[in-house]
Structure 1
Amino acid sequence: MKIQITARETLKPSSPTPQSLRDFKLSLIDQLTPSVYGSMLLFYSSINGGTNNHFERSEKLKKSFSDTLTLFYPLAGKTVDNITIDCSDYGALYVEARVDCTLSEFLQQTNWDQLGEFIPVKVESTEDTVGFLSVIQVSFFDCGGIAIAMSISHKLADGATAAVAMRCWAATTFGSADALAMVPLYNSAEIFPPRKFSVVGVPTLVDFNKEKFPIKRLVFEASKVAALKALAVSESVERPTRAESVTALIWKCALNAARSNSGVSRPSILTRAVNIRRKIEPPLPDNSIGNLVGFYTAEKDESETELNGLVRKIRDKLKVFDKNYMKMLQQEDAFEAVIEYWKVAATQMMRHDMEFYICTSLCNFSWYDIDFGWGRPVWVTMGSGNMKNLIELMDTNKGDGSIEAWVILSEQDMYLFERDPELLAYASLNPSVLDTKSSS
């Protein structure tokens, strides 16, 4: 498969951003978020009964994205400092490409390295190197299939924000009135006011490696997820979630591999990202824009080996997070408290006597409902950097509770991990996307 870039164009909001909105303030959480890019990639089959003309579809996508930028105007801005985005309509980059194979050929056996060619920005890039806070790539397959990637600076957006922006763009392209329900709400800086501070010395949990690590795709079918949830039940966790159950199994098997390779039994830390919109009092709607994300850490000692015990540790730490971290974010000395919280986590991450893992989940974000006018996507995935011991979860295209996981480990740990009988009892290694697709 070869992908050829055929065009690059700067797209500006279709209506000028009012002068009163030109200075957009970041929230405290935005300020503390590293300048990396988050990317989502959606694949669509050829249109049934519609046009497969590349030029027409491209022009329609560009126009609707410019219209969307009038609402999501910070995406067309530039960073002034770590407090302000200059929203003077600098624009977003639109990249167009041609793929010399059919979509079904590509999806028959997905390859992570090839996926990167559909994403216009490397995760570890910064606005200084890219020049844009948002970048779009639209890739056309020979068969009329299409891949749409959206990359947004994490200074502005978390996964929920990206979902709202892409859903609004799709509805605008489709001409749906649903776009009106996705008008962004810019209230993060009011809830978490920014602070003037130097980023020097501020810890980060993001550490992209120069060494290339293997990444594997796992699919947990709905029946297997249900079986894992049943095993995860305990007196304190009567209803474990899908993500908790799958995360606990991956954590357990990855740690078993690490311990077998090192010959040393070490405790382990698992850090999980949390969407805090519904945890704030009062709760925020889904269209609240920004990095409304927190994180918590669960620790596993060498004595804990059962799945329900790991899920219990994950849930217990989530309860502590809900009670303490949210209060800490909204108190007067939030900056000092959050920095101290991050320092503790960063210190744990750097300890050589612990195994450290990071997990993110974009389950339940309804990615497969994003329709640009040619139906639901056949597959949705995300872009990841080369970060060791990373676990990323998403719903599959079946919509029945199945989960897809991308896991990055060291080469030695991955060799044992992907052969673990307990893991393989519940997960399939990189099955064809076409085989996992719902027949409905």
Structure 2
Amino acid sequence: MWGSLFKIGKCTTRRFAFDASAIANLKVKAAGNSAQNSTQVEAVSAFIWKCAMAASEETHGFTRPSLLSHVVNLRRRTIPPLIENSIGNLISIASAHCKARYDELGLKGLVGQVREGISKINSDFIKKLQGDEQSNVICKSLKMMEEPGSKDGGVDYFGFTSWCKLGFYEADLGLGKPIWVSGVGSTGSVFLNLIILMETRSGDGIEAWVTLDEQEMAILQRDMELLTFTSLDPSPLKLSNIAAVNSPNYRKGYLFPTL
């Protein structure tokens, strides 16, 4: 399945930071005339997806079908909910498929696609996972992701995962709480078209670590709409608390622990 989605090539990773006001504006834009409000993760994910599809269109000269996946934490969706520190990969993968032009759907339409995909990972879905239908449910879920890649051939795949609200900034490994947490290791990502969403230290912003093909990234990072809502690779001190530079950990060189 993944062979039809992941592509091989030279990739590069950039960090796009959304502050609280930018996210609020995106949520308003996504809502339109609807009273239904999107979550921060839904709004940011759909917006990056839209901009990434625009970069792909400029690269290829035409609009390609696009598939988004989002990793979903199952702990809060079971009945009763599992404890947050339950050990194991208690996750499932939601997906959304954009067959129409991204500019026709607009941000509101793309947010709806993301929300619909995630909403399918609900208590009924988990109940089936725990029963005799487990194999059928898993196969059906994975097939929804496999078919676009096998049928369309030229589908673009973008994999999202949100590490927001997982408590990374509360972790103390003996050196104090981290000032800045990275979503990417020192060697970078091994997958193209991977987007990791991390909350900022203040908790009201989101850093998107985006890994794309080098050519598409060159287009993405000059996208004027994207740059209206984000800062490209801003100083971590700007995103956290500038007073943190006075902390003992900063002077010891512990500014950038990666968890």
Provide the C-alpha distance between the structure 1 equivalents of 2:6 and 2:63, rounded to a whole number of angstroms.
Answer: 26
State the aligned residue count. 237
Aligned equivalent of 1:326: 126
Aligned equivalent of 1:243: 41
The alpha-carbon distance between structure 1 residues 313 and 261, as it changes in their structure 2 partners (threshold 3 A), is: same
Q: CA deviation at 1:397?
A: 2.0
What secondary structure, in the 3-state scheme, does the structure 1 residue paired with 2:229 have? coil
- What amino acid sits opposite 1:418 in the alignment? Q
Does residue 266 of the first structure (1) align with residue 64 of the second (2)? yes
Deviation readout 1:270-295 (Å, 9 max, x if unpaired): 10110011111221110211111011
Aligned equivalent of 2:169: 368
Aligned equivalent of 1:395: 199
Aligned equivalent of 1:113: none
The alpha-carbon distance between structure 1 residues 344 and 313, as it changes in their structure 2 partners (threshold 3 A), is: closer
Aligned equivalent of 1:356: 157
Provide the C-alpha distance between the structure 1 equivalents of 2:27 and 2:144, rounded to a whole number of angstroms.
Answer: 31
What secondary structure, in the 3-state scheme, does the structure 2 residue paired with 1:321 have? coil
Aligned equivalent of 1:33: none
Does residue 430 of the first structure (1) align with residue 230 of the second (2)? no
Aligned equivalent of 2:137: 337
What secondary structure, in the 3-state scheme, does the structure 2 residue paired with 1:278 have? helix
- What amino acid sits opposite 1:357 in the alignment? F
1:208–1:386: 8 Å Cα contact kept in structure 2?
no
Aligned equivalent of 2:93: 295
The alpha-carbon distance between structure 1 residues 345 and 412, as it changes in their structure 2 partners (threshold 3 A), is: same
2:5–2:155: 8 Å Cα contact kept in structure 1?
no
The structure richer in helix per residue is 2
Does residue 413 of the first structure (1) align with residue 216 of the second (2)? yes
The alpha-carbon distance between structure 1 residues 348 and 208, as it changes in their structure 2 partners (threshold 3 A), is: closer
TM-score for both structures, normalised by structure 1? 0.50
Deviation readout 1:115-172 (Å, 9 max, x if unpaired): xxxxxxxxxxxxxxxxxxxxxxxxxxxxxxxxxxxxxxxxxxxxxxxxxxxxxxxxxx
2:94–2:121: 8 Å Cα contact kept in structure 1?
yes
What secondary structure, in the 3-state scheme, does the structure 2 residue paired with 1:295 have? strand
- What amino acid sits opposite 2:191 in the alignment? M
The unaligned stretches of length 5 or more in structure 2 are 244-259
1:214–1:409: 8 Å Cα contact kept in structure 2?
yes
1:273–1:360: 8 Å Cα contact kept in structure 2?
yes
Provide the C-alpha distance between the structure 2 equivalents of 1:212 and 1:346, rounded to a whole number of angstroms.
Answer: 24
The unaligned stretches of length 5 or more in structure 1 are 1-202
2:72–2:92: 8 Å Cα contact kept in structure 1?
yes
What secondary structure, in the 3-state scheme, does the structure 2 residue paired with 1:425 have? helix
Q: CA deviation at 1:234?
A: 4.8
What secondary structure, in the 3-state scheme, does the structure 2 residue paired with 1:290 have? coil
Q: CA deviation at 1:411?
A: 1.5
Report the more deviating stretch, 390-399 or 209-218: 209-218
The alpha-carbon distance between structure 1 residues 251 and 372, as it changes in their structure 2 partners (threshold 3 A), is: same
The alpha-carbon distance between structure 1 residues 253 and 413, as it changes in their structure 2 partners (threshold 3 A), is: same
Provide the C-alpha distance between the structure 2 equivalents of 1:263 and 1:246, rounded to a whole number of angstroms.
Answer: 25
Aligned equivalent of 1:226: 24
Aligned equivalent of 1:147: none
What secondary structure, in the 3-state scheme, does the structure 1 residue paired with 2:113 have? helix
2:22–2:230: 8 Å Cα contact kept in structure 1?
yes
Matches within 5 A, 1:88-99: none
2:69–2:159: 8 Å Cα contact kept in structure 1?
yes
What secondary structure, in the 3-state scheme, does the structure 2 residue paired with 1:229 have? helix
1:204–1:342: 8 Å Cα contact kept in structure 2?
no
Deviation readout 1:240-287 (Å, 9 max, x if unpaired): 111111111110001001011111222211101100111112211102
Q: CA deviation at 1:303?
A: 3.7
User: RMSD across aligned C-alpha pairs, in angstroms?
Assistant: 2.3
User: Who wins on radius of gyration, i.e. which is larger?
Assistant: 1
Aligned equivalent of 2:178: 377
Provide the C-alpha distance between the structure 2 equivalents of 1:265 and 1:416, rounded to a whole number of angstroms.
Answer: 15
Does residue 404 of the first structure (1) align with residue 207 of the second (2)? yes
Provide the C-alpha distance between the structure 1 equivalents of 2:93 and 2:146, rounded to a whole number of angstroms.
Answer: 12
1:328–1:338: 8 Å Cα contact kept in structure 2?
no
2:14–2:233: 8 Å Cα contact kept in structure 1?
yes
